[in-house]
Amino acid sequence: MRAFKLSALAVAMGVVTCSANASDDLDTVKQQLSELQQQVENLQLKLANANKNEINAIKRNTEKLSNSGEAQDVVAEQKAGGIKVGGAVRTNYSYTSYEDGSKNRGGDFDFDIFRINFTGDVGGVKLNAEIRFFDYMTAVKYAYAAYDFADIWQVQAGITKVPFGNWPYNSHSYFFSTNYYIGLEDDHDLGVIFKRKIADNWQLDLGFFKNDELGGIDGYVDNRSDRYSYDVVGFRGAQEGTYAELDNPLAEYNTFSARYGYHIEHDKGKTEVGFSALSGGLHDGVDRAGDYYAWAVHVNSNLGPWNLQFQHGEYNYDIENANTMAVGAYSFYDSIAAEATTTNANIAYNLPVKWGPVTALQFYNDYGVIYDKSDSSADTWMNVTGFSVAAGGLFTYFDLVHAKNQPFVGGSIAGDSDETERRFNINIGYYF
């Protein structure tokens, strides 16, 4: 701006000098000087307007960028509403008392599972699924759609978790509790659930399951034991072996399940006291062959860093002239008593830490027993003492198991052994 003024004055002075030298009339010189001053003022005004317009343009561009940022945020939020893919890879080391070969080798280290999880929502509908890949089978653990149709109510449809007992698990260890091996913990079937969220200190789950996750008695699958959850798949004849293939196939169908939990808040945490029950039919492919039911009372209490769990209940498969049932899972068949009583008592201590990548430790002892069996077999019991370690994407269980007549610890729930077996187990999982 200053350079422009100096240039204009220099031009003016030159004109004055030239006019004086040429002896022009003084009025003419004044008139020219006045015109030049007017031109300078006009140019200054234009320059000021140009600067103002440029500033306004910058403001408009800034506003556009701001609005564009808001639009990008909206788009980002829309994209965030899609499906997220995660999963885990797990390996397992075990040293057992019941396998001489394992003892001679100093234990065995094996691949456990590779799993993929899908979670997210599309158009307000939540989608969840998990598929597991083992060396010997592939199994869908769950796959369902969920929708919040009211402030405190949600409906789930598909292969979803049967509401029963302490939630979400009646255990802390890698081995679950004794209830898992009779189909009463972390069981998943095909059906629909109405879930009432916690409000006024209580919640309620109501479920109807048409059949098990493999389609029931007429599910058209190659192997009815290729599944994650334990389910009854038949009954045992008097001379039939504990692990035999099915001679008398059956399947659960039309099962109703209900779980009620009342939450008590206190100084050191929260305690849930609840009751669960389920009842359904058993089909042989032609007709209804029998009925079954189960019930349990349960307590799950958080007291500061401590977690206490207790559960007691019964189950009964009512089939004429059958005291032993066949169950299937993990690509093999096993047996359980047709009727029994179950009790579990667990304790855990949670310890947050900052040891490099290690952020949390949990120490636990889980005890479970199955007794008063209809087949007159010996009691089943399992005690797991261990701890788990969370470190970044790694989660590891260290378990020392003592058990009698317990699956995966050298026995069967329909077994009749007096021997107490042991298993030391390390399960390492990377989650992504």
Which pLDDT tens digit goes with each residue over 124-146? 999 999 999 999 999 999 999 99
Contact 318, 228 (CB under 8 A): no
What does pLDDT average to over the chain?
Answer: 87
Task: Identify the band that residue 2 occupies on the pLDDT scale cut at 50, 70 and 90.
Answer: very low
Task: Identify the band that residue 357 occupies on the pLDDT scale cut at 50, 70 and 90.
Answer: very high
pLDDT of residue 39: 65
Q: What percent of the chain has pLDDT over 90?
A: 79
Angstrom distance (rounded) from CA 424 to CA 401:
6
* Mean pLDDT for the stretch of residues 417-423: 97
Angstrom distance (rounded) from CA 366 to CA 383:
6
pLDDT digits (tens, 9 = 90+) for 29-64: 456 656 666 665 665 555 454 444 443 433 333 333
Angstrom distance (rounded) from CA 274 to CA 263:
9
Q: Kindly report the number of other CB atoms within 10 A of residue 332's CB atom.
A: 15
Task: Identify the band that residue 342 occupies on the pLDDT scale cut at 50, 70 and 90.
Answer: very high
Would you identify the CATH topology of the domain 83-431?
Porin (2.40.160)
- Find where tokens 């009698």 sit: 404
Give the phi and the psi of residue 173 in degrees, each rounded to 5: -90, 175
Helix, strand, or coil here: 29?
helix
- 403 burial type by CB count under 10 A (0-12 exposed, 13-18 middle, 19+ buried): buried
Contact 334, 424 (CB under 8 A): no
Task: Identify the band that residue 238 occupies on the pLDDT scale cut at 50, 70 and 90.
Answer: confident
Task: Identify the band that residue 17 occupies on the pLDDT scale cut at 50, 70 and 90.
Answer: very low
pLDDT of residue 108: 97
Q: Domains of the chain: which residue ranges? A: 2-71, 83-431
Q: For the whole model, what pTM was predicted?
A: 0.81
Contact 346, 366 (CB under 8 A): yes
Contact 134, 329 (CB under 8 A): no
Does the pLDDT value for residue 16 go beyond 50? no
pLDDT of residue 69: 39
Dihedral over alpha carbons 341, 342, 343, 346 (to 10 degrees): 180
Does the pLDDT value for residue 67 go beyond 90? no
* Mean pLDDT for the stretch of residues 285-294: 97
Alpha carbons within 13 angstroms on the beta-carbon side of residue 155 total 9
pLDDT of residue 42: 61
